[in-house]
Amino acid sequence: MARPPRAWQRMLSGRRLDLLDPTPVDVEIEDIAHGLAFVARWNGQTRGDHPYSVAEHSLLVEVIFARLCPQASPADRLTALLHDAPEYVIGDMISPVKAAIGPDYGELDKRLAAAIHIRFGLPAVTPARLKRQIKKADTVSAWMEATQIAGFSEAEASRFFGRPAPDLMAGLDIHLRPPVEVRAAYTTRHADLLRLCP
C-alpha cells in the first residue's frame, strides 16, 4: 500500500504544521514573520535591491486600514496585519495562478487562516464587513505597489485596482528592506497590537 504524501511542513521553531489539518498550537508568530519576510510579492517582479515581501505589504495594509477605519479596534488592526498570514506556508500566488488551481486553494487558505486567528485570540472567520474593509486597504496597497515598484502606469493600475483617494496614501511610500529588518518590524508590530487586544 502506498504511503500518503506528506502534508506537513517543519517550521524553524520546531513546530510541524499539518496543512490539511492545521492547529493553533502549531502556529508561532516567529514562523509567520520569517516566512512572510522571505516571500516576494508580484512573483519577485519588482524594482529594487530587495524583494518586496508579503510582510512589508502586510505592515502597509495595516496602516492603510487604520486610515480607512480610524475607530478600528486593536483586534481589527491585528486581523489586518495577519490578512495574508497563511502565505508563510503556501506562498504568495498571483491571482491568475489561484484561478487556475481553483477552489482548493481557497479552502487551504481558510483552514490556515482559522488556525492562525484562533492562535492569537481572533475569530476563526473574519466577519464579512471587516474582511471588505481590509480588502479595500489591500487594494490601495496593491495600487501603490503596482505604480511604485511593479512597472504599472497609474492608468493601468487604476484599471485593475481603482484609483485610491490621495489622503489614504499621503506620506506613505513603498519600502524595500532586507528580510531580517522586515521580519523584526512585523514581529514588533504584532506584539504591539496583541498587547492592546482585550
Query: For 98-109, how does the pLDDT look when each residue is reduced to its tens digit (9 = 90+)?
Result: 777 777 888 889
Q: What domain count does the chain have?
A: 1
Residue-wise pLDDT for 1-49, tens only, equals 777 777 889 999 999 999 889 999 999 999 999 999 999 999 899 999 9
Mean predicted confidence (pLDDT) in 156-169: 96
**Owning domain of residue 68:** 26-196
**Is there a domain that residue 10 lies in?**
no
**Is there a domain that residue 6 lies in?**
no
**Is there a domain that residue 98 lies in?**
yes
Mean predicted confidence (pLDDT) in 78-107: 86
**Is there a domain that residue 4 lies in?**
no
**Is there a domain that residue 11 lies in?**
no
3-class SS at 9?
A: strand
pLDDT at position 34, please?
98
Q: How far apart are CA 74 and CA 71, in angstroms?
A: 9
Strand locations in the chain, DSSP E? 8-10, 16-18
16 phi/psi in degrees, rounded to 5: -120, 105
> Which residues is 40 bridged to in the sheet?
53
Q: How far apart are CA 122 and CA 79, in angstroms?
A: 7
pLDDT at position 20, please?
86
Mean predicted confidence (pLDDT) in 170-177: 93
First-last CA distance in the chain:
50
Q: How far apart are CA 36 and CA 82, in angstroms?
A: 10
Q: How far apart are CA 134 and CA 131, in angstroms?
A: 5
**Is there a domain that residue 12 lies in?**
no
Cell of 112: 490556515
pLDDT at position 94, please?
72
pLDDT at position 128, please?
97
Residue 186 is part of a domain; what is its CATH number? 1.10.3210.10
DSSP state string for 22-37: --GGG--HHHHHHHHH
**Is there a domain that residue 9 lies in?**
no
Write down the pTM of the prediction. 0.94
**Is there a domain that residue 14 lies in?**
no
Per the CB < 8 A criterion, the answer to whether 56 and 46 are in contact is no
Strands 16-18 vs 8-10: parallel, antiparallel or unpaired: antiparallel
